[in-house]
Amino acid sequence: MASNFAPIGSLTTLPHVIMFLCFSGIAIYNILELIVTIFMTFKRRATLYFFSVVVATFGVLLYAVAVLLLVLELINTYISTSLVNVGWTCMVTGQSLVLYSRLHLLVRDPWQLKMILAIIIVDGIIFHSIMFGLSLKASYLLTSMPCFVWADFLTGR
């Protein structure tokens, strides 16, 4: 019996597509449930902790949707790569700020807290900018070179 399956993006077999879509659906459902829980649980919403949790959660949602769009090739590669990077930045830096906002419970020195916040900010600016540029360059190389040329490029032949 012949299969009528056509590859979808970089997913070449039907089990891969089913597995990818199932895990993406579970992730997006969990994120939506977490968003509802956040807004129902928090009474004080004008705090760094609340905004950090919200930014990190929406970063995870943006990242999951962007990876879905990237893998299934539903939109332009550069747009989906940019969305993946923005989601990653919100997710990682947001989670760092969540941890920072609770750090005052363990560390009492204000100078140390300011230095840790400065490290988070500098890290976010420097490393996320570099990652953004390199991932766009990698997307360009992957879309502009055939696979065999890309393999030769990596091996230096």
pLDDT, tens digit (0-9, with 9 covering 90-100), for 120-156:
999 999 999 999 988 888 887 777 665 555 555 556 6
Task: Name the residue range of residue 27's domain.
Answer: 14-155
Give the residue from 52, 58, 65 showing the smallest Cα distance to 93: 52
Instruction: Report if residue 4 sits inside a domain.
Output: no
Cα R_g (the chain), whole angstroms: 20
Instruction: Report if residue 149 sits inside a domain.
Output: yes
Residue 145 is encoded by which pair of tokens?
């070179």
Instruction: Report if residue 2 sits inside a domain.
Output: no
pLDDT of residue 137: 85
Q: Model-level pTM?
A: 0.82
Residue 11's SS3 state is strand
pLDDT of residue 57: 95
Instruction: Report if residue 7 sits inside a domain.
Output: no
**In this predicted model, what pLDDT tens digit does every residue of 27-65 receive, in sequence order?**
999 999 999 999 999 998 899 999 999 999 999 999 999
Instruction: Report if residue 9 sits inside a domain.
Output: no
**Virtual torsion, Cα 122, 128, 134, 137, nearest 10 deg:** -130
Residues counted in the chain: 157
Residue 10's SS3 state is coil
Instruction: Report if residue 31 sits inside a domain.
Output: yes
* The total number of structural domains that make up the chain: 1
The upper half-sphere exposure of residue 126, i.e. CA atoms within 13 Å in the direction of its Cβ, equals 6
